[in-house]
Amino acid sequence: MSARRLIPLLALVLISGCAQLAYYGQAANGQFSLLDRAHPIDDWLADPSVDAGLKAKLKRTKQMRRFAVSELGLPDNRSYTEYADLQRPFALWNVVAAPALSLEPKQWCFPVAGCVNYRGYFSKGAAQRFAAEMRAQGYDVQVSGVPAYSTLGWFNDPLLSTFIKYPDGELARLIFHELAHQTVYAKDDTQFNESFATTVEQAGVERWLQAVGDQKMRDAYVQFEGRKEDFLALLLKYREQLASNYDSELSDAQKLQRKAEIFVALQADYRRLKASWGGYTGYDRWFAEPLSNAHLALVATYYDLVPGFKALLAQQQTLPKFYIAVAKLAALSKEERHRQLSELAKAPPAADRKQGR
């Protein structure tokens, strides 16, 4: 482990104080272990014992990485130039908690990332133990596996075995999304950051598929995106029902009863949706734990501000100009940047304005 990698993580542990020492200790150890497993892609390609399928994927990621820099204006650094075999299904596990009668997630604040609506663990067991503590305090809790995350440029994020086997379009999407986090980041505003990265990933994959994709690849990505949109629409539908329930004049006991009924209906609707997909099981793990407010607390985080970001991209016309405009928004207060994005989303398209429509 190089001194350059070691110093920032040690700093996090040292400044965190006794109460958070154990949590930051596991985070530092987990990051150390992950980086120690990473080796340059060319080393993997030169190793005769490496599976041919993995080599083919790694070669394609090199193309994606070059495209991200040359065509999308994303950071030209060593992120995603190395690969790590983690020998586990996820990079880490996030714990999300929300009150029993609210969809407002609990926040945790950290020295570098600021305040976020989840708490990450490199051990599933540690995540589950913390989740049990939160449930004992009366919170609804979800523990979910995370295949990839960004260190916001503090480290050279490697490609991971937890996502390397994704279909090419989805793999490119993930790389573009995580690199976007290194381009602009607003502290204490998960919704802004994730919606921005989602906008970049969508614009990036569209350009990438046009440039290098064949019809089979495009069709696979369209099918994947269609299922994702269907699933998101399903979750938003039931999130709205829960929000209406919690805002109603019912007693707490009645709200809890209605809450249980809503989750039963959500499960039934998902079974019908899954059947319409021909039995596709990609979202089954979302239902691995009993459904709760925590499952739906962050649903809007990745998408609510996307219409505003898309309008801003259309206005700026090029991605480099778009990044500059987004950086200016990030420098504003959270309330002001959200207000401006909301106004952008409501404005008619630029082409309509030019034509007087």
| Helices and strands in the chain: count of H runs, count of E runs | 14, 8
Under 8 Å between Cβ of 211 and 67: yes
Element (H, E) at 190: helix 190-212
Phi, psi of 39 (to 5 degrees): -135, 150
- Which alpha helices (H) appear in 252-357, and where do they start and end? 252-276, 293-297, 306-316, 319-330, 334-346, 350-354
CA-to-CA separations, 312 to 187, 206, 264, 345, in angstroms, rounded = 20, 17, 39, 8
Q: How far apart are CA 341 and CA 199, in angstroms?
A: 13
pLDDT in tens, 227-242: 999 999 999 999 999 9
Under 8 Å between Cβ of 77 and 152: no
Is the Cα dihedral 191, 23, 150, 143 positive or negative?
A: negative
Task: Give the model's confidence band at 217: pLDDT under 50 very low, under 70 low, under 90 confident, else very high.
Answer: confident
pTM summary value = 0.86
Under 8 Å between Cβ of 232 and 299: yes
- 55: which 2 tokens? 């080599």
Q: How far apart are CA 224 and CA 165, in angstroms?
A: 15
pLDDT of residue 299: 86
For 118-277, list the strands marked E by DSSP: 119-121, 140-146, 159-160
Burial of 80 from C-beta contacts in 10 A (0-12 / 13-18 / 19+)? buried
Task: Give the model's confidence band at 157: pLDDT under 50 very low, under 70 low, under 90 confident, else very high.
Answer: very high
Q: How far apart are CA 62 and CA 315, in angstroms?
A: 31
Task: Give the model's confidence band at 347: pLDDT under 50 very low, under 70 low, under 90 confident, else very high.
Answer: confident
Mean pLDDT of the chain: 90
Element (H, E) at 94: strand 92-98
Dihedral, CA atoms, 178, 182, 184, 187, nearest 10 degrees?
90
Q: Is residue 71 helix, strand or coil? A: coil
Phi, psi of 98 (to 5 degrees): -145, 150
pLDDT in tens, 93-105: 999 999 999 999 9
